[in-house]
Structures are given as C-alpha cells and as structure tokens.
A and B are shown apart, each in its own frame.
Chain A
C-alpha cells in the first residue's frame, strides 16, 4: 500500500496512476496519524515552498513527517516535496522547512521561471533506488550542495544540482518519477522494494 500525502494542489492523480501501473494499491494520507502509520508514504508537491509548508502545518503533518523520515521509514518526496525536507528556501525567505535534510534550496537559473524538460540523472553511489537515465523536471529551484549522509544523483542545469538523493528507504527526487516514463516507473518499483527490505 502506497499512501499519498494530500497537499491540496499537487498532481496527485498522476502520482497515484503511476503507482497503480506499478501494481501497487494507493490510498490518501490526510492526517498525522495516517502519515505515521503508512507503510510507504509519498510526499508530492507543486507550488511554492511557503505555501507547501503552510499546507503541511495546517493539516498537522509536520511532526509526523519529521518523525518517520528521521526513523528511516519508507518515504518518497517528489519535486517540491524534496525541497520541503530541507531547512529553508530562497523562494520563501523566513519560512522553515521540515529540516530533516541539512540543505538550502536555491534558484537554479535566472531569471526565475519554471524550467521544463528531460535531463540526465547520474547517481554518484553504487546502484540504489536511483538509476542512471532521463528524468522529467518542472522546477525553478533546487539543491546545489550534496547534503551530508545522503547518496546523491546529480543533474546539470547550467551547473550541477541534486536530482535525487537516498538514505535507506527514504528517497527524494527533484524530478517527477511519476512522469518519467518507464524509467520513472522502474524507480518507483525499486523504492517500494527498498521499503520491503528495510522493514
């Protein structure tokens, strides 16, 4: 069972459809309790860093998310979801992120605008959940410096940035695995398997 955090404005239908194509059953996680209990939890997200944190706070999900990620329980954060794991973002100065990843989110290229498209992802560590291939991105912001304790896969947009990172069954992708074709579906399957092994 894969539970998807409902942040209100994310493309959760695409995320759910992708997991269903992987053969997983999908449910919604709308409360702190559901976030704590979920076997596999997905934190999707589109929109701004500030609005994303506000919706997590309003739904009372902040502590539960922090706890399960600190405990190394199977969690997949996508796009804005990955940014929300970080301490802060240039996009919303003064707003604290979940802070489970020691990193700051920065504007990747100026002027600020969504950069759409497929970019190569190259893992730095030996094979984990994140494989080499092309991933679909739709973002303006991202993490440039590799956070300590995470195995990173890098992409390049004028300069290198963290395309995805993994710590056990906790995976965060700046790209959209659910929109990255067969390569993305394989990543989702490996993440589910990583969770089974870890539990």
Chain B
C-alpha cells in the first residue's frame, strides 16, 4: 500500500524562500538548501520547488538553485515556475528535478502537457491548478493568481489528464496562506473526476486539516508556511497524521 505523502513547498524568489497570503505580500522565509535538507531529515516524502515570480516576470526558474537543492537531498523533487516548453522541462530534469510542474503555459497551450509527457513520461508531469471559488464552481487562475481565465477548474483537470498530466497539484487561491483548512469541495470534485493523484494545497495549518484533505480524496498534502514558520515540523505532523490513522512512511525504519 502506498502511504499518503506530506510535501513541503519552497516558494523561491531570487534564490530565497518567500511566502505570502493568496500569492501576494511575500516575505523572506530562509535559504532553500538548508530548508530542503531539514525537511528531508524530518521525513518529508517529497519536495516541491516553485519559482513564484518566474511566470509573472516572464523568465524561467533558476537552475542553479535546483542543482544546489538536488546535491543536498535524495527525495523526489518537483520543480515549476515559468515552464513553457519541452527544452525547459528537460533542463530542469538535468538540473536534478524528478518531475516538472506546469501551470500557466499549459492553460494557454494544453498540448505542452502532451509534449512533455510523450518525451519524459506522464510520471514527470505535474499540472498545477490555481483555483478560485466562484459560488459552486472554481475558476482557473494563471500567472501566480493574477489572471482570470474563465476556465472551469474541474473541466480543465479532466482535459489536462487526457492530455498527459500524471499528477495534479491543486491549490485553492482563496485558502492559500490563511491556515483555516483546504477548500475541501474543490478537492472532492476534482478527485472524483480524474484518476491521477491529487496533491492538496492552500490553507492547511494543522494535522486535522490534512486528515480532512485525505478524506476528501487527496493522495498528498502540500504545505509551506506552517513548516517555514515553525508552527510544526514535518516529523511532528506525520506523527500526528499516523496517530489519526493515515498511512505514513515513518522514519524509524531508516538505518
């Protein structure tokens, strides 16, 4: 049986970790390599690294940061931010990413998912969806949450999986950084529509929120602020999740 995964997220800007609320008001949260090593030692199951300013500033994620993190850790790493073509995805894998996160560019040109998936396999393609609630439905937002697309998030998830996405990183923009839990309705509806793994993101600040996310259909949970700010550690959180009956990889087997 696969365990559920806890994934710290490093939002990077200019080689430093930043974190804000609903993708704005970014503040410095430390050195990415130190944080990555710490989280691996605490039992992080994977790491997600996003260059939060890459797309809105029209550039690609810094490869040297990816390389430095890869030298320090031996757990899976997904890297995203401004990925627009196969060559860029390839460059990220060569720098040490295991999966590539794609967001805005795939919304503009869904075939990008197919191109990366055909070249590197669907297991390399993580589609990031930033969704904002509009009553009973969710709208896909791009460019770090600044651009409305008018596209229904559930419909986009379905099309993206058909196009080659192997996993979905599903972020609620409304809940992001607020610490009062995931948008469970969003997780439920997307998980029921697609067969690929869902990584729940945006709003969790405690184990109870994550249990809710798993119950809603997520295979993995992503969090940033609670780890960066020392609200909890990855290890403590996984211990609490295991105690709540969620299957977890615990570190006691490591020798």
The contact of A114 among B3, B45, B166, by CB within 8 Å, is B166
Chain B 184-200, CB within 8 Å of chain A: the 1/0 string? Answer: 00000000000111000
- Contact B254 A11, beta carbon cutoff 8 Å: no
- Contact A118 B249, beta carbon cutoff 8 Å: yes
- Contact A9 B120, beta carbon cutoff 8 Å: yes
- Contact B74 A181, beta carbon cutoff 8 Å: yes
CA distance A109 to B97 in the complex (A): 26
CA distance A119 to B219 in the complex (A): 13
The contact of B166 among A18, A113, A120, A131, by CB within 8 Å, is A113
- Contact A156 B1, beta carbon cutoff 8 Å: yes
Given contacts A111-B195, A113-B196, A118-B249, are A17 and B76 in contact (CB under 8 A)? no
- Contact A176 B166, beta carbon cutoff 8 Å: no
B window 31-88: CB within 8 A of A: 40, 45, 67, 70-71, 74-77
Given contacts A111-B195, A117-B3, A136-B75, are A48 and B121 in contact (CB under 8 A)? yes
CA distance A153 to B206 in the complex (A): 36
Neighbouring A residues of B5 by C-beta, 8 Å: 116-118
Neighbouring B residues of A182 by C-beta, 8 Å: 74, 254-255
Chain A 164-187, CB within 8 Å of chain B: the 1/0 string? Answer: 000000000000101111111110
Given contacts A11-B93, A114-B167, are A179 and B98 in contact (CB under 8 A)? yes
Q: Name the residue in B3, B98, B119 with the highest tally of chain A Cβ atoms < 10 Å from its Cβ.
A: B98
**Secondary structure of the A contact surface, majority rule:** mixed
Chain A 25-59, CB within 8 Å of chain B: the 1/0 string? Answer: 00000000000000000000011100000000000
- Contact A133 B254, beta carbon cutoff 8 Å: yes
* B163 at interface by CB-CB < 8 Å: no
Chain B contributes a number of interface residues (CB within 8 A of A) equal to 38
- Contact A118 B2, beta carbon cutoff 8 Å: yes
Neighbouring B residues of A14 by C-beta, 8 Å: 70, 74, 77, 96, 98
- Contact A136 B76, beta carbon cutoff 8 Å: yes
* B242 at interface by CB-CB < 8 Å: no
* B95 at interface by CB-CB < 8 Å: yes
The contact of A138 among B40, B94, B96, B123, by CB within 8 Å, is B123
A window 97-155: CB within 8 A of B: 111, 113-120, 131-134, 136-140
B window 178-222: CB within 8 A of A: 195-197, 219-220
CA distance A9 to B120 in the complex (A): 6
CA distance A138 to B124 in the complex (A): 9
Give me the interface of A with B, judged by CB distance under 8 Å: 9, 11-14, 17-18, 20-21, 46-48, 111, 113-120, 131-134, 136-140, 156-157, 176, 178-186
- 10 closest Cβ pairs, A-B complex: A117-B2, A114-B123, A118-B249, A47-B121, A13-B96, A134-B249, A114-B166, A138-B123, A133-B253, A182-B254
